[in-house]
């Protein structure tokens, strides 16, 4: 069984109710730019990565472990995993 | 014409060829976690925000201006705008 390369994005966002100073900073800058009608700004991270595995399920498992153990702080951040594409290894 | 609230995500990623020290740091940590088969890690940002506007086109224009002028550095970062949902203002 040959490996397939899966490209994922891990989207990490502050959980609801958690203070988000970067989001507040963006909102405070809007007036200077003359931008109106923008609210609810939340700043998180987006990590894109390739996982080589035998199946999409196995690849998602690796990405999920990485997200939970390294990329997100589960106390204050939520994460979701998004499949961007797949193909032969090395072809990304 | 009443305003509609559009929820967007702005995904900001390092452009191809641009050095990504955070991505290298994640890759260097994989061995300690016993995770294999992961490569091509790129660390960016994900900003979620609500724009109140009369149409989706107008709302996308505001989000695009905000992304280009405040959220991303166009010299080294690419950005894409993703519509997450829409509804009555205040209902997000």
* ipTM score assigned to the predicted complex: 0.90
C-alpha A26: how far from its chain's center? Answer: 19
C-alpha A61: how far from its chain's center? Answer: 15
Mean pLDDT over each residue of chain A, to the nearest integer: 94
| Structure-block tokens of residue A35 | 């931008």
Residues of A in CB contact (< 8 Å) with B are 3, 7, 9, 11-13, 23, 26, 29-30, 33, 35, 37-53, 62, 65-66, 69-71, 92
What is the number of structural domains in chain A? Answer: 1
- Is position B27 within any domain? no
Burial B20-58 (b: 16+ CB within 10 A, else e): beebeebbeebeeeebebbeebbbbbbbbbbbbbeeeeb
- Is position B9 within any domain? yes
Contact state of A46 with B11 under an 8 Å Cβ cutoff = yes
- Is position A92 within any domain? no
- Judge whether residue A92 has pLDDT over 60: no
pTM for this predicted structure: 0.91
Residue B71 DSSP label: I
* Count of pairs with CB atoms under 8 A, one residue in A, one in B: 107
| pLDDT, mean of residues A61-90 | 94
For position A89, what pLDDT does the model report?
A: 87
Averaged over successive runs of 10 residues, the pLDDT of chain B (92 residues) comes to 92 95 95 93 97 97 95 96 92 50
């Amino acid at each position: 069984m040959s490996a397939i390369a899966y490209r994922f994005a891990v989207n990490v966002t502050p959980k609801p109710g958690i203070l988000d100073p970067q989001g507040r900073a963006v909102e405070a800058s809007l007036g200077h730019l003359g931008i109106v009608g923008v609210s609810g700004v939340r700043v998180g991270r987006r990590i894109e990565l390739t996982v080589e595995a035998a199946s999409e399920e196995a690849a998602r498992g690796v990405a999920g472990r990485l997200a939970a153990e390294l990329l997100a702080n589960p106390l204050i951040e939520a994460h979701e995993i998004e499949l961007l594409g797949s193909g032969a290894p090395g072809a990304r």
